C-alpha cells in the first residue's frame, strides 16, 4: 500500500498481466509470447540442411520411380502413372507429417519411446497372421489389407532408435557397468530383431543391428563394452546367412569371379545392375531412356533404382545423389555434435547411421561391392512405408535441430528466457 499527500492509502499499481508470475517463478505471459514468436523465428542452419535435402531426394525419387516403372506398366496395360501416384500419395502424407513432427518437443519423444516400440513390434507381428502376411522372394515381411500393402518393419527402425535413446539416456551415469549396458538393451533389441528374422528378412535385420550399435556408440559406452555387442551382431548376421541356402547362394555369387557362370540364377540381377551403370557412362542415356527397365532388371524401381539412375543420368546423376546424402549426413552430425542433451545425441546418431548407412549399403549392392541384401535406397526407392518412415525420422531430426543452442540464446530457449525474465523482475 502507498500513502498519498492527504494521508489516504491507495493500492499499489497492479503488475501487468503480461508479466504475471507462476508459482514456479516463470512468467507465463512472457513465455507464451516468446513461444508464439518462435513460429516466425529463424530456424537453425541444420534444420534447413536436413529439410531441404530430404525434400529434394523425395522429389528426385518420385521422378526416378516414374521413369523406372512406366514402361512395364504400359506393357501390362496399366496407366504409366499408376505406381508413381501411389508413391506420391505417401509423399503427400509424409512431408506434412515430417514438419508436424518437427514442432513436437523433446518431452513428447521421450514419453512415446516405450509405447511406440511396443506398438511397432505388435504391428510387425501381423505379418505372421494368416490372410494378412505376404511372402515375397522368400521373405514374409509385408501385410496386405483391402489391397493396401505395407512393410511394418520399416517403423521398427525409428521406434527402436527412440527407445534406445530413452533407455540409454536414463542410464547415462550407469553405462560404465556392463549389466546396465546389456539390460534391457540386448534382450529387447534381440526380441525386436527376432520378429524380423522370423520372416527371413536379413537386410532389414542388419539395419536394425546397425541402429542398435550406433545408439550404443553415441551414448558414450566404453570401447571394451561396445566391442561385445559388436561381436554379437556380427556373429548373429553370420549365423543367419549360413543357415539360409538362398542367402548363401547370393553371397557365393558375389564372391564368384566368373559371374557369367551364374547368370541365369543368383547373378542375373547384379550383372544387369552393373551393365545399366556402364551403359550410362558419364552423362547418361537421358531421363526415361533406360534399356534395363524393359524387363531386364526385375527390381528396377526399388532395390536397384540407383542402377536406373546411373543409366539415365550417368555418373553426374549418381554424384548428385551422393552429394545430397552427404549434405544430409553433415546436417545430422551437426545436430549430434552441438546438442547438450544425451537423448538427442543418441537418437540422432541412430537415425543418421540408419539413413546414411542404408543408402551406402544399397549403393554398394548395386556396384557389386556387397552381396544382395534387399534394402531400399532411402527417399528414392519405390515403397510407401519406407518413404513414410524415413520422412518421420527426418521430422524427429528437425525437432532436435530446433533445440540446438543458437548464438546468444541458451538451449531450450523458451523456458529459460521466461525464467530469466521472472528472475530479473524479482531483483
Predicted confidence at residue 390, as pLDDT, reads 98
What are the start-end ranges of the H helices in 198-341? 202-218, 223-242, 245-255, 268-280, 305-338
pLDDT value of position 151 = 93
> pLDDT at position 234, please?
86
Q: Order across the sheet with 139-145: list the strands.
A: 133-136, 139-145, 148-150
The total domain count for the chain is 1
Instruction: Say if 23 falls within a structural domain.
Output: no
Q: What is the DSSP string of 309-344?
A: HHHHHHHHHHHHHHHHHHHHHHHHHHHHHH---HHH
| Amino acid 6: pLDDT | 47
Task: Tell me whether residue 202 is in a domain.
Answer: yes
Which pLDDT belongs to residue 226? 84
pLDDT for the residue 37: 47
- Res 117: pLDDT: 97
pLDDT at 261: 66
pLDDT, residue 136, reads 78
For residue 290, being part of any structural domain is answered with yes
Is residue 7 exposed (0-12), middle (13-18) or buried (19+ Cβ within 10 Å)?
exposed
Q: Are strands 9-10 and 133-136 parallel, antiparallel or unpaired?
A: unpaired
* pLDDT for res 238: 85
pLDDT of res. 424: 40
Domain annotation covers residue 64: yes
Q: Average pLDDT of each block of 10 consecutive residues along the chain (427 residues)? A: 49 44 43 47 88 97 95 88 94 97 96 97 94 83 85 96 96 84 91 92 93 94 84 85 77 69 77 93 94 90 95 96 97 96 97 97 93 92 95 98 75 40 39
Q: Is residue 107 part of a domain?
A: yes
The answer to the question of residue 212 being in a domain is yes
pLDDT for position 22 = 43
Q: What is the pLDDT of residue 24?
A: 42
Residue 40 confidence (pLDDT): 57
Burial 212-221 (b: 16+ CB within 10 A, else e): bbbbbbbbeb
29 lies in some domain? no
What pLDDT, on the 0 to 100 scale, is given for residue 411?
46
Domain that holds residue 194: 60-71+81-400
- Asked if residue 275 belongs to a domain, the reply is yes
- pLDDT, residue 357, reads 96
Amino acid at each position: 500500500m502507498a500513502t498519498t499527500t492527504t494521508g489516504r492509502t491507495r493500492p499499489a499499481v497492479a503488475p501487468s498481466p503480461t508479466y504475471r508470475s507462476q508459482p514456479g517463478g516463470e512468467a507465463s505471459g512472457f513465455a507464451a509470447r516468446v513461444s508464439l514468436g518462435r513460429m516466425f523465428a529463424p530456424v537453425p542452419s541444420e534444420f534447413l540442411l536436413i529439410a531441404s535435402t530430404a525434400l529434394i531426394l523425395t522429389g528426385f525419387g518420385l521422378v526416378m520411380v516414374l521413369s523406372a516403372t512406366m514402361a512395364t506398366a504400359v506393357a501390362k496395360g496399366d496407366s504409366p502413372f499408376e505406381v508413381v501416384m501411389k508413391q506420391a500419395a505417401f509423399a503427400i502424407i509424409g512431408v506434412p507429417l515430417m514438419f508436424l513432427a518437427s514442432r513436437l518437443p523433446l518431452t513428447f519423444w521421450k514419453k512415446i519411446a516405450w509405447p511406440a516400440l511396443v506398438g511397432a513390434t505388435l504391428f510387425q507381428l501381423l505379418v505372421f497372421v494368416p490372410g494378412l502376411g505376404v511372402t515375397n522372394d522368400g521373405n514374409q515381411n509385408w501385410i496386405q489389407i483391402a489391397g493396401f500393402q505395407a512393410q511394418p518393419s520399416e517403423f521398427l527402425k525409428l521406434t527402436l532408435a527412440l527407445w534406445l535413446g530413452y533407455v540409454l539416456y536414463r542410464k547415462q551415469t550407469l553405462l560404465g557397468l556392463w549389466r546396465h549396458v546389456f539390460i534391457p538393451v540386448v534382450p529387447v533389441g534381440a526380441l525386436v530383431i527376432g520378429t524380423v528374422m522370423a520372416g527371413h528378412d536379413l537386410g532389414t535385420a542388419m539395419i536394425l543391428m546397425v541402429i542398435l550399435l550406433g545408439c550404443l556408440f553415441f551414448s558414450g559406452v566404453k570401447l571394451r563394452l561396445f566391442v561385445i555387442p559388436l561381436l554379437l551382431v556380427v556373429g548373429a548376421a553370420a549365423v543367419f546367412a549360413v543357415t539360409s541356402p538362398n542367402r548363401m547362394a547370393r553371397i557365393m555369387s558375389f564372391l564368384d569371379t566368373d559371374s557369367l557362370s551364374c547368370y541365369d540364377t543368383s547373378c542375373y540381377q547384379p550383372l544387369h545392375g552393373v551393365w545399366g551403370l556402364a551403359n550410362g557412362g558419364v552423362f547418361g542415356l537421358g531421363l526415361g531412356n533406360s534399356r534395363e527397365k524393359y524387363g531386364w532388371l526385375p527390381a528396377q524401381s526399388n532395390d536397384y533404382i540407383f542402377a536406373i539412375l546411373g543409366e539415365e543420368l550417368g555418373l553426374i546423376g549418381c554424384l548428385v545423389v551422393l552429394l545430397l546424402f552427404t549434405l544430409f549426413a553433415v546436417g545430422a552430425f551437426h545436430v549430434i555434435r552441438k546438442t547438450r542433451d544425451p537423448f538427442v545425441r543418441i537418437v540422432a546418431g541412430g537415425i543418421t547411421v540408419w539413413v546414411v548407412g542404408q543408402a551406402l549399403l544399397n549403393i554398394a549392392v548395386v556396384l557389386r561391392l556387397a552381396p544382395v541384401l534387399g534394402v531400399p535406397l532411402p527417399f528414392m526407392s519405390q515403397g510407401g512405408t519406407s518413404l513414410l518412415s524415413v520422412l518421420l525420422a527426418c521430422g524427429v531430426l528437425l525437432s532436435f535441430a530446433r533445440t540446438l543452442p543458437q548464438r546468444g540464446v541458451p538451449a531450450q530457449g523458451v523456458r529459460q528466457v521466461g525464467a530469466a525474465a521472472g528472475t530479473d523482475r524479482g531483483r
